[in-house]
Structure 1
Amino acid sequence: MSDFVFETTPRIVCEAGASARLGEMAKALGVKRALIVTDAGLVKAGLLEPVREGFRAAGLECALFSDVLADPPEESVMTAVQAARAAGADGVVGFGGGSSLDTAKLVALLAGTEQALPAIYGIGLATGPRLPLIQVPTTAGTGSEVTPIAIVTTPSHEKKGVVSPLLYPDVAVLDARLTLGLPPHVTAMTGIDAMVHAIEAYTTRHKKNPVSDSLALKALELLAANIRTVVAEPGNVAARAAMLQGSLLAGMAFANAPVGAVHALAYPLGGHFHVPHGLSNALVLVPVLEFNRPAAEALYAELAPAVLPGRRFATPAEAAEAFIAAMRDLVAAMPMAQRLEQVGVTRDDLPMLARDAMNVQRLLVNNPREVTHDDALAIYAQVF
């Protein structure tokens, strides 16, 4: 067995209604004045009221930044950082989907230091200290509450990542009640996103290890068993909790065994066309699985029982084919766009997408099979 290091968020709270106790949790971290980083939709939905009441009950001050944007641009992130400084915040709570959680990570990191955001894109370039940080996902997809990564959209429409152990929060809170209001298409997109995290962590070329493998397998099992249920029955609390747990486990896995070509090809779709991240992943997932099969067939065979429980396979090749077919059928059954042209991409855009995907070498190096520009172009063409 090769040597490895595994890191994750030190405290995880999984409990329906736990978000009402965020004030207590923040107080335990020494916070006196918190900034909650979220989006306007969640404020309008009333999800922040119990949280703010919990802060008042704990005797803490609480400011709100509710202008998080999807695929957070640099300018939006820095506006949130300035809001934290203006409020005198000594702690941060990320509350929402991946964009809110990623923004909150960077606010906690940058509010008390003089680092320039563009200077810390990459791996291990950020420095501390950071403010105490609690992350509360309201979607079951990104796993950002247990990853050391924050993704930002640059002025040139590229997606770049800040990767640092400093971005692991102090506490992650999974409250299934917060996800009950998600519409079916968002539930589907984020659920597929989490499944991609598990698949790519399991098949990564670098840093794959026994802990990440175990987490990825369990994550995929939970997600595959519950995604159709939560799409059809949005109020099913047990299935919602299972999806949150699957998303978290997948996040723990890919935080340590990094993702590959699905994410690399998805990023330009988000950067240029503002396609939601989960949908971007879903659009390119199946053709990337097919492309990777020559290099990853044995690993796909090992993943097959997680999505096809009880099925028996005569050979690894048969199991791998069944795994890809199951994922193809699942994506096709989800209430979301299935082709690039449905999200505003034209055929003339494909070379640009392929060019930008090739710039995401941070992720492409992890893919089980080498991807060339022509390969990327062909994958985009398959789903145009």
Structure 2
Amino acid sequence: MTAWSFHPGPAIFGGSDAAARIADVLPQDGPCLFVTDKGVMSLGLANRWIAALEDEGHRLVVFDAVEADPSETTLLAAVEAGKIAGVSKVVGFGGGSPMDVAKLAAYLIGSGDDVDDIWGVERATGQALPLALVPTTAGTGSEATPVAVITCVGDEKRGVNARALVAAGTALDPDLTIGKPRALTAATGIDAMVHAIEAYTSAHKKNPVSDLYAREALHLLGGNLLLACEEPDNRKARGAMLLGAHYAGIAFANAPVAGVHALAYPLGGIHHLPHGLSNALMLRPVLEHNRAAANELYAELAPILCPDCEDEGSQSLTARLIEWLGELVVASGLEPRLRDHGIARDDIPMLAREAMKQQRLLVNNPCPIEEEDAARLYEAAW
């Protein structure tokens, strides 16, 4: 057997009482930096959690200035707020953006490192502050991963991938996702499905355990995404989506994502499309590009989403998988073309050039994506 390794990620606390239990992973001494965004605060989603943490003896310093696709400026402001307050631990509460800022803030405050010295893979080797993460959407899986992504100067998305960013604990409470808008549910859910698919077909570090998580993630997500879209208060569907997104996060934390994400990042960084939507737009073109190289693996995934196609050949199974995913994007209510979101055809050469900067992701794709390939794939998505 080829050598492989697997990291299980943070401790998981599930259910509506997880707020009190997650406090157990945080030290009692010193203030706690609570990283979130103004939308979460205005909806009152954090109130119960803040009260529960304070009841457990934690004094919170709330930083709620995180925006979508958070900037390096925002990250450094969070770090500064934590340093001024002398915090000894960090909680990230919200979607992927607050959690990514919390992960990097915990590391930068704890280690004293400069952010420019840690971009890339396993360059953050210092000691982070204790960290807990609480997702309020079912999509990014950031609570499960050692990855954080920040938008830097020139709208370039840069990432840190290092074990030092893994949280001590995460809380999965479906009540936090109840009633989320259809478009958000669809985009974040498809984002999670992309995590699972790309982990299963990753050219590097794919392993039997990450495969198990990826397959179960697809089962949960594929079986519940439309139900969660159509019945936003369905707690069972929301819980399945939240767990599926977490499983997908564990999968891609061990077997990294690839071409779909690489081509999605310029759409978010430059055109400010939501990350999940960007992935949904590029999913079908990239899977078609990978079809020959990943045919057998796609065929293995197809029956999870299309149970009636088990007896077909691998080529047919792969075609069914790609078709099913394309139909899912439309059925979820997302507009499926780049032009539907204000992206001009003339932007394609620039998008292709920017995608080539995501080599840390492109190397994981089942087959190469060169600049001319990227341009062709954006054209197919347009």
TM bracket, shorter-chain basis:
over 0.9
Q: Is the 8 A contact 2:19 2:53 kept in 1?
A: no
TM-score (norm 1): 0.97
Paired residue for 1:224, among 222, 228, 243?
222
Name the structure 1 match of 2:82: 84
Give the CA RMSD over aligned residues. Answer: 1.3
Q: Does the 8 Å CA contact 1:94/1:105 hold for their aligned counterparts?
A: yes
User: For residue 75 of structure 1, what is the aligned residue in structure 2?
Assistant: 73
Distance (Å, rounded) in 2 between the aligned partners of 1:94 and 1:8: 19
Match of 1:130 in 2: 128
Point out the more displaced range, 334-343 or 370-379: 334-343
Letter in 2 for 1:54: A
Partner of 1:211: 209
Paired with 1:21 and 1:274, the residues of 2 have a C-alpha distance of 36
> In 1, Cα distance between the equivalents of 2:335 and 2:34?
32
What is the rounded CA distance, in whole Å, between the counterparts of 1:312 and 1:109 in structure 2? 46
What secondary structure does 1:234 align onto? Answer: coil
Kindly provide the CA deviation profile for residues 218-263 of structure 1, in whole angstroms up to 9, marking residues without a partner as x. Answer: 0001000000000000001111010011001111011111111000
**Which of 259, 283, 302 matches 2:300?**
302
CA contact (8 A) 2:25 2:169 kept: no
Cα pair 1:18 1:175 within 8 Å, conserved: yes
- Give ranges in structure 1 of 5+ residues lacking alignment: none
Cα deviation code 1:182-221 (max 9, x no counterpart)? 1110000000000000000001111110001111000001
Deviates more, 1:302-311 or 1:193-202: 302-311
Contact 1:9–1:172 (CA<8 Å) still a contact in 2? Answer: no
Which amino acid letter does the alignment assign opposite residue 13 of structure 2? Answer: V
> Are residue 250 (structure 1) and residue 252 (structure 2) matched?
no
Instruction: Show structure 1 runs of 4+ deviating over 4 A.
Output: none
Mapped contact 1:8–1:168 kept (Cα < 8 A)? no
DSSP-derived class of the 2:2 partner: coil
- What is the Cα deviation at residue 343 of structure 1? 2.2
Tell me the secondary structure at the aligned position of residue 309 of structure 2: coil
Question: Contact between 2:13 and 2:21, CA under 8 Å: does it hold in 1?
Answer: no
TM-score, with length taken from structure 2: 0.97
Which residue pairs with 2:36 in the alignment?
Answer: 38
SS in 2 for 1:172: strand
Is the deviation greater in 270-279 or in 119-128?
119-128
Give the distance between the partners of 2:228 and 2:206, measured in 1 at CA. Answer: 30
Matches within 5 A, 1:91-170: 91-170=89-168
Mapping of 1:226-375 within 5 angstroms? 226-375=224-373
Per-residue displacement from partner, 1:35-64 (whole Å, max 9, x unpaired)? 110000110001111112112211221110
CA contact (8 A) 2:25 2:168 kept: no
For the 8 Å contact 2:20–2:56, the answer to whether it is kept is no
Q: Is the 8 A contact 2:89 2:130 kept in 1?
A: yes
Corresponding residue for 2:6?
A: 6
CA positional deviation for 1:8: 3.0
Structure 2, unpaired ranges of 5+:
none
Helix, strand or coil at the partner of 2:199: helix
Aligned residue for 2:24?
Answer: 25
Shift of 1:31: 4.7
**Contact 1:21-1:51 within 8 A present in 2 as well:** no
Contact 1:146–1:169 (Cα < 8 Å) also in 2: yes
* 1:324-377 deviation digits (Å, cap 9, x = unpaired): 111111011122232212222111111000001111111111111111111100
Q: Distance in 1 between matches of 2:295 and 2:13?
A: 36
CA contact (8 A) 1:17 1:177 kept: no
User: Post-superposition shift, 1:20?
Assistant: 5.1
The offset of 1:88, in angstroms, is 1.6
Q: How many residues of Structure 1 are paired with residues of Structure 2 in the alignment?
A: 382
Mapped partners of 1:10, 1:267: distance in 2: 26
After superposition, give the CA deviation of every residue in 1:161-190 in whole Å (9 maximum; x if it has no partner).
111100000001100000013111000000
